[in-house]
Structure 1
Amino acid sequence: MLADVHILKITEGGAERHTVTDLDRLLADETGFVWVDIPHCDDDAVRLLSETFKFHRLAVKDCQERNRVPKMHVYADHVFVVLHAPERGERGHVHYLELDQFIGANYLVTVHGPNNPAVSDAAAERETRAARGRIDNGRLRPATPAALSHAIVAALIRNQEEYVELVTADVWALEQQVTGGQVTEPEAFLTDLFRARHGLLSVRTMATLSGALYSHMAQLSALPDGHRASVDDIADRFTRLRSITDGQREYLQGVIDFYQSLLTLRSTVVGQTQNDRVQELTVASYAQNEEVKKISAWAAIFFAPSLVAAVYGMNFTHMPELEWAFGYPFAVVLMILAGMALHWAFKRRGWL
């Protein structure tokens, strides 16, 4: 709704608040410049951008839709810029808060979103609300739309730096857990590590792409000389932020590598212990097999005499050798020879 739109006429004497009905008159006034801050790009806001400012339809469409990466388009009388700021969500999710800017000679139009419904309006309008507060208390007196844009983007970069600071605090806590041996749940710990890494990568991506946009903007021939210094300053700030993020990302990677080394070492120790245990079981199994061989061999040796005795002990009437005088000595000798033969055979095979 246009009732939520903030309109300020900024001159050397200060800033005055106005409504949408005053826009045509304010834009026709050559003194100072107009700042229009649109919290949500609804249908009314689209008509305002298209009919009052007559912005290009593709630029207006970019304000309606979520843009995944920063972008910049140069038009005849203004520059359109899309930037992002990070906002921490649940379970390590990083929300991209979008801020679109139309920077003209006598106006600055800022458009927020669209953002995830989980993001509060206070977070989405953080930079522009802070700029309005500084203008109201006299701490900010921008002379041009480019100067005001510089102040807003500088605040956005500070918020990105604060996000990196939050992630860095998480990284330090994770490092203390590793070095202190306090990691009790490896899976949850690894999740926290990679969430921190995701946060740093998100900010680094924002800083890298945004810095490239402002570096390109500084090369524009149509850029007024007075604005080139502020554009260069924003590009340098984004470059510095990228360097800070790279340093923290390398620091985090060191923590990840150290923890992975610990996991590898522990896995090696566990594997070695398991191998030793398997070897012990193998030796015990081999010794048991040898004992079984010996028992089986002696059982077979003693079974042969038992078999002979069982046969000659049968009380059948018509058995051969019942009346033989050498029957008993023959049976005894047969028992001994059978046992000796089996003993020799098992001994040769290594069972005894």
Structure 2
Amino acid sequence: MIRSIRRAMSRAIHRTVDLSHPARSPLGSSVVNCVSYEDGVRQPLTGSPEEALRRVRRSGRGFVWLGLHEPDQEELARVAALFDLHPVAVESALRGHQHPKAEPYGKGLFAVFRTCGYVDHEQFTATSDVVDTGELMVFTGDDFVITVRHGSHGSLGPLREALESDPDRLRQGPAAVLHAVADRMVDAYLDVADAVQRDIDAVETAVFSVDAGRGEAGRIYQLKRELLEFKRAVAPLDRPLHTLATRPMPTVPLEIQPYFRDVAGHLSRLNEQLASFDSLLDSVLQAHLAQVTVGQNEDMRKITAWAAIVAVPTMVCGMYGMNFSHMPELRWTYGYPFALGLMALACFAIHRGFRRNGWL
């Protein structure tokens, strides 16, 4: 894979790449946007990204931000050749399914974030999807930021607009964009967590309601599975954020590190919240299973009570069905009504006793 990427990068060096159109280009439809910034101000594209990158490097006070969405190998290789990206990082961005991380490659930095989105549903069932995940890779250098997004979540259009409205932040360079991306990812996690909490509250209310059904276990298990998927996207990000906040990293100046510490703090609180969700679901599941057990015991007591009541006439009928010649009251005129009355009286007495004890 790395050798094929190197060959593609070598071929791409000799090609002219024109990304002047914000949404379409000869590089492929995966290009979302390509903009240069100088002194925190967005610059109009007057030529190819090569010229924009050359102009930024000549002025020494700006950077280029290129956004891609699910590029193929050839497209990403041509971008890698233009910005001199490390082949190992390029392979990771192309292959996807990466854990959150932040790793230096030469003078640049490669970061991976998991994107999350809440799946809306009219009514939560045992087969409902709750959390949908994707990936966002960020290449940063001294004068460029490249974002590669996989999946339907994590669009950076609103983030780009918010940053462009604050030139002071963009003036801090690619590290400011990286921090903004991390902050936006954690904010999206918090939104998903709020939505998941509403589903948990709904399931909890249903479990402890008077007419709670025995099918709630399926919904609880589904929530636990979706919560596990959510935790797999969120929890591993703690270490990369801690690394960005405390250790010297390429393209991340010391004055930006406190901002990453703030994002790491928000993520830590989110992880605690998810742990509480997991504990709450365990408690709700145990309570539901206890309710099911109590309901089954109630059913067994009712069955036992009715079986005891039916046993009395069964015993009497069984005795008189033996056909012996010398049986009490066998030739008495009122023997049959007396036997029926005796059975009814015995059944009534047993039924009343069970009702008093709460079995019926």
Q: How would you bin the TM-score normalised by the shorter chain?
A: 0.7 to 0.9
Letter in 2 for 1:112: R
SS in 2 for 1:35: strand
Inter-CA distance 65–287: structure 2 relative to 1 (3 Å threshold):
farther
How far did 1:168 drift? 0.9
In structure 2, relative to structure 1, the CA distance for the partners of 1:274 and 1:136 (3 Å cut) is same
Q: Does 1:210 align with 2:237?
A: yes
Is the Cα contact below 8 Å between 1:6 and 1:17 reproduced in 2? no
Q: Distance in 1 between matches of 2:191 and 2:283?
A: 22
Larger Rg: 1
Match among 18, 28, 32 for residue 5 of structure 1: 32
Q: Distance in 2 between matches of 1:172 and 1:140?
A: 42
Please show how residues 126-205 of structure 1 align to structure 2 within 5 Å: 128-138=156-166, 141-142=169-170, 143-184=172-213, 186-187=214-215, 189-205=216-232
Unmatched tracts of structure 1, length 5 or more: 303-352
Match of 1:112? Answer: 149
Amino acid of the residue matched to residue 108 of structure 1?
Answer: V
Paired AA for residue 99 in structure 1: L
1:135–1:141: 8 Å Cα contact kept in structure 2? Answer: yes
Given the superposition, is the C-alpha separation of residues 103 and 13 from structure 1 closer, same or farther in structure 2, using an over 3 Å criterion? closer
Q: Is the partner of 1:99 in helix, strand or coil?
A: strand
| Deviation at residue 51 of structure 1 after TM alignment | 0.8
Q: Which of 221-230 and 54-63 deviates more? A: 221-230
Give secondary structure in 2 for the equivalent of 1:5: strand
Aligned counterparts of 2:136 and 2:189: Cα–Cα separation in 1: 13
User: Which residue of the other structure, out of 255, 274, 286, is the alignment partner of 2:303?
Assistant: 274
Deviates more, 1:145-154 or 1:200-209: 200-209
* Distance of 1:272 and 1:23 partners within structure 2: 82
Distance 2:74 2:44 in 1: 20
Q: What is the CA deviation profile of residues 68-123 of structure 1, one whole-angstrom value per residue up to 9, with x for unaligned ones?
A: 5323332221221111121234722532121001122222211001x3xxx4xxx3
Looking at structure 2, the residues matched to 275 and 68 of structure 1 have their Cα atoms a distance apart, in angstroms, of: 58
Offset of 1:282 from its aligned partner?
A: 4.4
Give the Å deviation of 1:163.
Answer: 0.6
Could you tell me how far apart the structure 2 residues matched to 1:12 and 1:21 are?
19
Measured in 1, the distance between the counterparts of 2:97 and 2:295 equals 45
What SS does structure 2 have at the residue aligned with 1:87? strand
- Secondary structure of the residue that 2:71 maps to in structure 1? coil
Q: Select the residue among 273, 276, 296 that pairs with 1:247.
A: 276
Change (3 A) 1:111 1:17: farther
Shift of 1:39: 1.9
**CA 12–203 in structure 1, closer or farther in 2 if over 3 Å, else same:** same
Give, as a single letter, the amino acid of the residue that structure 2 aligns with 1:104: G
SS of residue paired to 1:194: helix
What letter is aligned with 2:161?
Answer: G
**Aligned partner of 1:129: which letter?**
G
Distance 1:13 1:144 in 2: 8
Task: Go from structure 1 to structure 2 and tell me whether the alpha carbon gap of 1:287 and 1:5 turns closer, same or farther (over 3 Å shift).
Answer: same
Distance 1:31 1:276, change over 3 A: same
Counterparts in 2 of 1:23 and 1:282: CA distance versus 1, 3 Å: farther
Q: Secondary structure at the match of 1:100?
A: strand
State the AA in 2 paired with 1:201: L
Q: 1:7-86 residue pairs with structure 2 within 5 A? A: 7-18=34-45, 19-26=48-55, 28-29=57-58, 30-67=60-97, 69-86=99-116
Shift of residue 216, structure 1, vs aligned partner: 3.2
* Structure 2 Cα separation of the partners of residues 17 and 256 of structure 1: 58
Tell me the distance in 2 between the aligned counterparts of 1:57 and 1:281.
Answer: 81
Q: Is the 8 A contact 1:83 1:100 kept in 2?
A: yes
Q: Relative to 1, partners in 2 of residues 1:216 and 1:279: Cα closer, same or farther, differing over 3 Å?
A: farther
SS at match of 2:106: coil
Q: TM-score, normalised by structure 1?
A: 0.72
Q: Deviations over 1:46-66 (max 9, x none)?
A: 123321122222221221223
